[in-house]
Amino acid sequence: MRTRAPPRLAAWLLEEFGSSARMEALIGDLAEQFASGRSPLWYWHQAGAALVLDLRRALRTHAPSFIAAVLLGYAVTELWRFGNSLAFSSVYRNLDTSRHGLTQDTLMRFLGLRGAQASLTVLTFLTGWLVTRVHRAHPRAVLAVFALSLVAQRLPGAAQLIARGLDGSLPWARVIPELVPLGLQSVLTLLVGLWMIRREGFSQMRLQVRLVAILTLALTLGSAFFYDLWKVGVLSYPPAVRFPVDAAEIASGAYLAVLFWRNFKEPRHDQIPHNPPGSDRSGEHRGGTRRRHAESAG
Partner 1 sequence: MRRQAPIGPFHWVYRVERLCRLYFIIIIDEMKRSREFLAQHELIVMLAVLRLGREAYGVPIAAEIADKTGREMLQGSVYATLERLEDKGFVVSELGEATPLRGGRAKRYFRLTAAGVRQVQQAQRALQSLWVDLPQIAGKT
Alpha-carbon torsion 24, 30, 32, 34, what sign?
negative
CA 12 vs CA 9, 16, 17: distances in Å: 5, 6, 8
Query: Of the two residues 28 and 40, which places its CB atom closer to partner 1 in the complex?
Result: 28
Q: Which of 19, 20, 216, 252 binds partner 1 (CB under 8 A)?
A: 20
In angstroms, the CA 129 to CA 56 distance is 23
CB of 57 to partner 1, least distance (A): 6
In angstroms, the CA 84 to CA 265 distance is 37
Q: Which stretch binds partner 1 (CB under 8 A): 72-80, 181-189, 208-216, 283-291?
A: 283-291
Residue 168: is it exposed, middle or buried by C-beta count within 10 angstroms (0-12/13-18/19+)?
exposed
CA 45 vs CA 7, 40, 50, 113, 172: distances in Å: 11, 9, 9, 47, 39
- Is residue 250 within the footprint of partner 1 (CB under 8 A)? no
CB of 144 to partner 1, least distance (A): 17
Tally Cβ neighbours within 10 Å of residue 85: 11
Of 176, 194, 140, 116, residue with least CA distance to 21? 140
- Is residue 59 within the footprint of partner 1 (CB under 8 A)? no
Of 214, 203, 242, residue with least CA distance to 226? 242
Query: Of the two residues 19 and 220, which places its CB atom closer to partner 1 in the complex?
Result: 19
- Is residue 275 within the footprint of partner 1 (CB under 8 A)? yes
Of 219, 235, 206, 244, residue with least CA distance to 106? 235
Q: Which stretch binds partner 1 (CB under 8 A): 16-24, 93-101, 148-156, 173-181?
A: 16-24
In angstroms, the CA 41 to CA 271 distance is 28
Size of the site for partner 1 (CB under 8 A): 39
Of 50, 71, 44, residue with least CA distance to 150? 71
- Is residue 272 within the footprint of partner 1 (CB under 8 A)? yes
Q: Which of 10, 16, 19, 54 binds partner 1 (CB under 8 A)?
A: 54
Which amino acid is located at 261 in the chain?
W
The three-state secondary structure class of 266 is coil
- Is residue 107 within the footprint of partner 1 (CB under 8 A)? no
Q: Which of 49, 221, 247, 258 binds partner 1 (CB under 8 A)?
A: 49
- Is residue 5 within the footprint of partner 1 (CB under 8 A)? yes
CB of 44 to partner 1, least distance (A): 12
Q: Which stretch binds partner 1 (CB under 8 A): 189-197, 202-210, 223-231, 273-281?
A: 273-281
In angstroms, the CA 106 to CA 229 distance is 8
- Is residue 46 within the footprint of partner 1 (CB under 8 A)? yes
- Is residue 278 within the footprint of partner 1 (CB under 8 A)? yes
CA 32 from chain centre, in angstroms, equals 29
Q: Which stretch binds partner 1 (CB under 8 A): 31-39, 78-86, 155-163, 225-233?
A: 31-39
- Is residue 277 within the footprint of partner 1 (CB under 8 A)? yes
By the criterion CB under 8 A, which residues form the site for partner 1? 3, 5-6, 11, 20-22, 24-33, 35, 46, 49-54, 57, 271-278, 281-282, 284-286
